[in-house]
Structure 1
Amino acid sequence: MRAARTLRRRSSELLEPWDLSPHQARALGVVCRHDAPRLAELAERLRIAPRSATEVVDALQARGLVERVPDEADRRAVLIRPTAAGRAVREQVDAAREADSETVFARLDPTDRATLARILRSLTED
């Protein structure tokens, strides 16, 4: 648990330059990876209530990172699309996370890193 808390804290601190919460960063990542998901799909992928997804999207939209666009296939539905600024922020966050991961895991020798990766994969397989 201590390691998980430390990694969560580092992750939150890493997002500070972009003034993003972990929930917002996750949502932005989903929106960027899954070309313009519907709000319900976003909520499902984040495993949160649709109302919570609405609040996260509202915050991202207010910052100009995502936009709501009509779904041409279903006029009642709205799609969430990343803006150019949103994609740029996502790329910067991804690069910062990758650099931070290298720093954290550089403490382990290659054999220990491989073992840890194998163990974590086995714990997260569905």
Structure 2
Amino acid sequence: MADDDEETLPETFWAVAHQLRHLRKETLAPWDIAPSQARALGVLMRGGPMRLNELSEHLRIAARSTTEVVDALQDRGLVERRPDPADRRATLVAPTGEGTRVGEAIRASRDAEAEAYFNILSPEERVSLAGILRKLRR
């Protein structure tokens, strides 16, 4: 592996992204939940009940993949499908009570892990990094 000073910006960025993905998997291990499932549960907790196509848009994945994620969460009792009161032909997906409990526990654990990971940065560096990443995400 190259010396840190010789590493290019993209190499450094992807190395950090890899570390964060690994950390996320470790954080989710106690709940035996996949990262895609945790993301979907988080979106539903923040956004409330929504149709599958809306969830697909939030997750930026194909509808078929969203169906698989929701099926897995439903099998675990973490989400439920229910009729849309605004359109009886449509179905909404919503977290169950257990899904909300698990989602909140995951969020607390992820927040603690992120705090530990980013703790080497000063408050000013964190603000700068967040701003840079938001700018790049656009």
Percent identity of paired positions between Structure 1 and Structure 2: 55
Partner amino acid for 1:90?
A: G
The structure number with the bigger radius of gyration is 2
Give the 3 Å change call, closer, same or farther, for CA 4–67 of structure 1 in structure 2: same
Q: Which runs of 4+ in 1 moved over 3 A?
A: none
The superposition leaves residues 98-121 of structure 1 with CA deviations (integer Å, 9 ceiling, x where unpaired) of 101110111123332232222212
Alpha-carbon offset, residue 30 of structure 1: 1.1
1-structure distance, mates of 2:123, 2:45? 32
Partner amino acid for 1:110?
A: P
Alpha-carbon offset, residue 60 of structure 1: 0.3
Matches within 5 A, 1:16-55: 16-55=29-68
Q: Which residue of 2 aligns with 1:104?
A: 117
Structure 1 stretches lacking a partner, 5+ long: none
Q: Which residue of 1 aligns with 2:23?
A: 10
TM (norm. structure 2) is 0.86
Q: Which residue of 1 aligns with 2:105?
A: 92
The superposition leaves residues 67-113 of structure 1 with CA deviations (integer Å, 9 ceiling, x where unpaired) of 00011221111000110100011110110111011101111233322
CA-atom RMSD in angstroms: 1.1
Partner amino acid for 1:5?
A: H
Is 2:92 the counterpart of 1:82? no
1-structure distance, mates of 2:87, 2:98? 27
Structure 2 stretches lacking a partner, 5+ long: 1-13
Matches within 5 A, 1:55-70: 55-70=68-83
2-structure distance, mates of 1:72, 1:111? 47
2:50 aligned counterpart, secondary structure: coil
